[in-house]
Every structure is written in structure tokens, then in C-alpha cells.
Structure 1
Amino acid sequence: MAASAVMQSILVSSARQNACRTPANRLLPAAVQPFSRRAANFRVRCTAEEDQREPATPTSVSLPSPQPGPSPTPSPKMSTKLTDILAFSGPAPERINGRLAMVGFVAALAVEAAKGQDVLEQIGNGGIPWFVGTSAILTLASLIPFIRGVSVESNSKGFMTSKAELWNGRFAMLGLVALAFTEYVTGGSLV
């Protein structure tokens, strides 16, 4: 078999050298010269020795086809089980918390600007039912696409991507905690 491979490589290289000898590329070494399409139909038939008889199969030397760009890989199927969606490394917890933090941060700043109450006063003066209601509605609205098997990445295009939403949610979580901490330390509302 080793002799067969050596013979094939010798025959192919000699065919390639002869096929590529055009007036334009005679000065180039054989290893650099372009491969001609005329040698693409060159067939090599090789047989093994007596004790290693295998049926002879014709092989053809063909040009390597140009590789197209990487094809888009289909996104892996997302599990629609609620336990997988709400798992610690699942797709829903950070997104839901980020969405709640974005709404909470903007609402806290709006109420501070309108009424002058800090975050702790807002929670103490009837803010808990608003918080629970908003959390329930946003959680259900966020879970419905996940339960249907729609991934967030499939709908993210342009400026508003799924990564941008994650980072905005992370910053809103940090902002809400920083707002509450700053108001606690200063003893009053920020605005």
C-alpha cells in the first residue's frame, strides 16, 4: 500500500508539471505553478503485490474545490422544560432579572424626580404591590418565548442584540444597587 501511495504521488506530480507548462508560467517552479484543469481527468490505476491483492479501483485526480465561506451553523435546539429554562445557567434568570432591573431603575428615578422619595421610601409607601405585579407580568412575558422554543439570539438583529440586552440589564442591576446604597449613605434622595 505504501508503494501504491508513492507511485500515485509521483504520477500526479509529473502530470501536474507537464500540464502547467504554459508560456506564461515556465519560469515558476513546479510547486508554485497553478494546477491545470486538463490534468483533472488523469487516472491512476495501481495494483498491490501478490499477497496483498485488492481489487484495483480507478482513482481520479481532481482539483480541490474552493471551499465556500463557513455556512451558518443551525442554532442548537433549546429545551422547553421550565426547569431547564429557569436553571442557574439557563437562558431566563439573568434576562428576567436584567429586564426587571431596567424597569425598576427607570421607575425609581422617575418617582424620585416626581415625588422626591428615595428608593426605601418608595418601597415603604406602597411600592411592594407595584413591584410584585410588575415582576409577575415581566416574568411571564419573558418566559413565554422560551417555553415556545424561541431563542433570544434568533430575534436579535442590528443595534438591539441579545448581548446588548444582557449588558444593559447588568448595568441596570448595578445602578439600582448603587442608587439604593448612595441614598442610604447620604440619608436622602439622589435627585
Structure 2
Amino acid sequence: MENSNKFPQDIPLKSVWESFGIFVLIGFLMIVIFYGGNRIEYIRSLWKIDGLLDQVFSGCIIGILFAVIVVFLYKMKWIQLPKNEYTELIIQILKKRYGIVTIALGAGLSEEILFRGAMLGVLVSYFSPVFSLVIVSAIFMALHIPQYKGSVLIHVIIFIMGLGLGGLFLWTEALWAPITAHAVYNGFLSLLMKKNE
């Protein structure tokens, strides 16, 4: 009899997008529950279009910078992608049509709504920006522990990236820059993972 708890070898892209949708839903619920009477105004402010091109440009630069650093560390063999069921699953997703778009845009959008728009936005309304930024970056890193277990340096990089993405959010007071940075970073790394498979 086969074990029903066995880790899946493959996941349909529809299921991946549904899981991203859960992140978005949790993010919006957090805002509705914890943000108070200005929640609708706050949600609108996350998508303000004043300075949109500057925000997207800043996000591209930060995303490329993080990707270049990680590729350099990878080429120097200071970091290696752990071989585990999570990275294997990501590689399977990347092989699919629209797999790179799913990992880059889907994760970039959903994780930024949850971590920066909701968690960081809510925490900053109660605590200092620095404290809030560190806490949310630590939670962001913790989410990636199963995926990169066994590589402490990758976790450090993800924590620092969380600080950078959160910094972009606090600086622009909108989600465009962190979403762009996250999507660009994930896109470059997805291409690297697919190429090296």
C-alpha cells in the first residue's frame, strides 16, 4: 500500500496559483482585521500610481542587484541549491509552459501583498519601522526554510532580501517596487535553475 502522505512529484500550475491566492486572501484579511477604519484607504494606497515608473524602475534595479549577487555566489560555489523535494518541485514547475511566469510573477505578487503590504503595513502601524522590518523579514525567511533547508547562507540572503523588499515598501509606501524587485529576482533565478537542470 502506497503512503498517501508522500510529497507530490508534480503540482499543476492551477494549484500553485491557488496557493498564491491564499496568500493574497490572508494578506487582505489581515489588513481588514488589524488596520482599523482606514483599511480601504490603506489598500488603495498600496496601488497608488503616483511615481509608478520610478517605483518599477527602482524595483528592477534592486531585483537585478539581488539576482547578480546570488548568481555570483553560486558561480563562486559559495552557495548551492539544496537537493530536496521542494527544489525538485520548483524545477518541475519551471519546466512547464508559463512556469517561470508563475514563479516570478505569482510569488512576487502574492508574497509582497502578504509580507510587505499586510504584515509590514500592519506592524508599522503599531511598532517602529525597524522592528517591524526585522520581524517581517525573519518570518519571510522562515517561510523559505523548507525550500532551502541545509543552506544557512541562502537563508541569510533571503533575510537580507526581505529587508530590501521591506525597505522599498517603506520608502515608496506602495507595492509596485517590491513586487517588481521580487518578480525580477525570481525570474532571473528561475532561468538559472532551469538552465542548470
If the TM-score is normalised by the length of the shorter chain, which range does it land in?
A: under 0.3
* TM superposition score normalised by structure 1: 0.26
Structure with bigger RCO (C-alpha 8 Å, 6+ apart): 2
* TM superposition score normalised by structure 2: 0.26
**Structure of greater Rg:** 1
From the two aligned structures, give the one with the greater helix fraction: 2
